[in-house]
């Protein structure tokens, strides 16, 4: 395929997520596969292209936590260091620097492009540069609930006067500080000695929007700890790098369970927007299952998704062809929904559908501009000259989802209510425009009461999470804050 133009066919799954059909050589592949792919048409670098290429080089070299301007200043140092090593030995450069670079092949690909440009300023750069969203699952949740503090911590919202000089917010560090504060206050002396690192909790934080369980958190932590046995007793060794004073700590299974519990509680209960949203969706899923309906929603890009999980029952059978044949177990579908699975899997599928909607709206806006682009779900790739335009278009697509008209969560709520009303007998009606309740539950929340046509059970449809309606009046502020954020992607 060298020096050949070719296309990569893609498909969309039921959530609208786009994937290439080819198995290895594709833009969603590993570091090596991605480093080999160039856009078909290149461009002579303009001022914007030079800026974005240098920032991306600094990102790949491991300086992505610096401010935008500091990364620009770092790039010449990186290039100078590379050339000095190359005069001596390329092998030596790789041996001494490769460990600190997470995507070395893409780094080398960009470095080659810079070398060609420095030799000839008319050289047409075809390399894609990629800007990632900052913890996109939490970005969607913060935007759904319009929670400014959470939005600020994932770079959705910024009031900075000099955004290029500020450091990007890091949600993993924010969550880590909360977890370590809780550990210091633990009643268990061993836990008070633990000081976790960003690397240890990153995967758990990343998967919290996707309804990970406490067991899941415990399993993820074990990737960084060591299991040990004394006779028949199991213990977990915490390395010195994750303790206050640098000494190893050994935990009993009970103490390790408490460690997992603290992390899980911080990431679910102490992030109120996430908890409110999860409780709201779980209540809605209970109603849909009660009515034997799949849960459906329409993405901001107009894709209608209908989602359910069927329960299966196990049956043991034995064929009578031969007397020696063994009994086998098969699973057959039932007429019932699997409530637990639906609750666990709804949020990841829902968030992924919003990632997809952002891409769909972006591609619709970008089609008339004829810009080279590909996406890896919440990561956006374009040519250096067009990357700031791409950043603006990604933000505009995000604004179309969450901050235009009445906000997406209210639209979603209306769709849920209409779906439930179409399958039940209504007892009370509700005026969405005046937001006047017809009934109140014990906690004073507004509800709509309906009756299950088959069981005559009275069902109360929950309202939106508390505080959303008030925050919804401030959509203009969110739009300004997003447009001002330098690190929404990048």
Active site residues: 132, 202, 378
Distance CA 44, CA 419 (A): 53
**Tokens 């639209």, located at residue:** 411
Kindly report the length of the chain: 490
| CA contacts within 13 A on the Cβ side of 307 | 25
Q: Decide: helix, strand or coil at residue 420.
A: helix
Q: Give 433's contacts (C-beta < 8 A, 6+ positions apart).
A: none
Distance CA 60, CA 357 (A): 28
Q: Give 458's contacts (C-beta < 8 A, 6+ positions apart).
A: 427, 449, 450, 451, 452
Q: Decide: helix, strand or coil at residue 122.
A: coil
Nearest Cα to 472, choosing from 413, 408, 415, 414? 408
Sign for the pseudo-dihedral over CA of 156, 160, 161, 163: negative
**Tokens 């901050």, located at residue:** 403
Distance CA 411, CA 152 (A): 24
Could you tell me the two tokens for 234?
Answer: 């199991």
Question: Which phi-psi region, left, alpha or beta, contains residue 20 (left: φ > 0; alpha: ψ -120 to 50)?
Answer: beta
**Tokens 């799949």, located at residue:** 294
Residue 281 Cα distances to 347, 409, 465, 472, angstroms: 8, 11, 10, 19
Residue 65 Cα distances to 71, 129, 266, 380, 487, angstroms: 9, 17, 24, 18, 10
Distance CA 254, CA 137 (A): 31
Q: Decide: helix, strand or coil at residue 433.
A: coil
Distance CA 370, CA 406 (A): 31
Read off φ and ψ for residue 332, nearest 5 degrees.
Answer: -120, 145
**Tokens 């240890």, located at residue:** 200
Nearest Cα to 360, choosing from 7, 18, 8, 11? 18
Could you tell me the two tokens for 247?
Answer: 């000494």
Residue 461 Cα distances to 43, 445, 455, angstroms: 55, 10, 17
């Amino acid at each position: 395929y060298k020096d050949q133009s070719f296309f990569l066919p893609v498909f969309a799954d039921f959530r609208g997520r786009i994937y290439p059909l080819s198995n290895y050589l594709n833009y969603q592949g590993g570091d090596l596969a991605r480093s080999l792919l160039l856009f078909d048409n290149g461009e002579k670098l303009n001022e914007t292209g030079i800026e974005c290429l240098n920032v991306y080089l600094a990102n790949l070299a491991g300086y992505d936590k610096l401010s935008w301007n500091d990364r620009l200043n770092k790039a010449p140092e990186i290039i100078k260091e590379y050339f000095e090593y190359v005069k001596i030995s390329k092998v030596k450069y790789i041996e001494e620097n490769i460990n600190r670079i997470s995507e070395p092949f893409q780094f080398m690909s960009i470095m080659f492009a810079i070398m060609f440009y420095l030799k000839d300023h008319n050289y047409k750069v075809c390399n894609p540069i990629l800007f990632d969203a900052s913890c996109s699952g939490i970005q969607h949740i913060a935007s759904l609930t319009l929670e400014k503090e959470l939005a600020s911590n994932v770079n959705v919202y910024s009031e900075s006067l000099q955004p290029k000089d500020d450091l990007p917010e890091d949600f993993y560090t924010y969550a880590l500080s909360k977890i370590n504060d809780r550990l210091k206050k633990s009643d268990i002396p061993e836990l008070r000695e633990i000081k976790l690192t960003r690397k240890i909790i990153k995967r758990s934080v990343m998967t919290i929007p996707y309804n990970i369980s406490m067991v899941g958190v415990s399993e993820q932590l074990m990737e960084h700890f060591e299991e040990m046995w004394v006779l028949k007793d199991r213990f977990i060794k915490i390395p010195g790098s994750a303790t206050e004073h640098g000494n190893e700590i050994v935990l009993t299974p009970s103490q390790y369970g408490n460690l997992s519990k603290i992390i899980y509680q911080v990431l679910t209960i102490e992030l109120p927007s996430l908890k409110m949203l999860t409780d709201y969706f779980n209540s809605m899923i209970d109603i849909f299952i009660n009515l034997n309906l799949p849960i459906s929603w329409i993405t901001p890009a107009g894709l209608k998704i209908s989602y359910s999980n069927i329960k299966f029952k196990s049956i043991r059978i034995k064929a009578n062809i031969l007397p020696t044949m063994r009994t086998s177990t098969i699973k057959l579908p039932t007429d019932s929904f699997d409530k637990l699975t639906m609750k666990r899997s709804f949020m990841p599928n829902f968030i992924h559908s919003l990632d997809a909607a952002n891409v769909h709206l972006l591609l619709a806006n970008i089609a008339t501009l004829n810009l080279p682009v590909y996406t890896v779900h919440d990561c956006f790739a374009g040519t250096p000259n067009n990357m700031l335009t791409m950043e603006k278009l990604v933000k505009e697509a995000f604004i179309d989802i969450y901050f235009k008209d009445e906000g997406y969560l209210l639209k979603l709520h209306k769709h849920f209510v209409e779906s439930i009303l179409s399958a039940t007998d209504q007892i009370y009606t509700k005026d969405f425009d005046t937001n006047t309740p017809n009934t109140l539950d014990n906690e004073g929340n507004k509800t709509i009461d309906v009756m299950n046509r088959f069981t005559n059970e009275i069902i109360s449809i929950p309202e939106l999470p508390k505080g959303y309606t008030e925050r919804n009046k401030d959509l203009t502020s969110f739009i300004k804050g997003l447009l001002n954020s330098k690190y929404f992607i990048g």
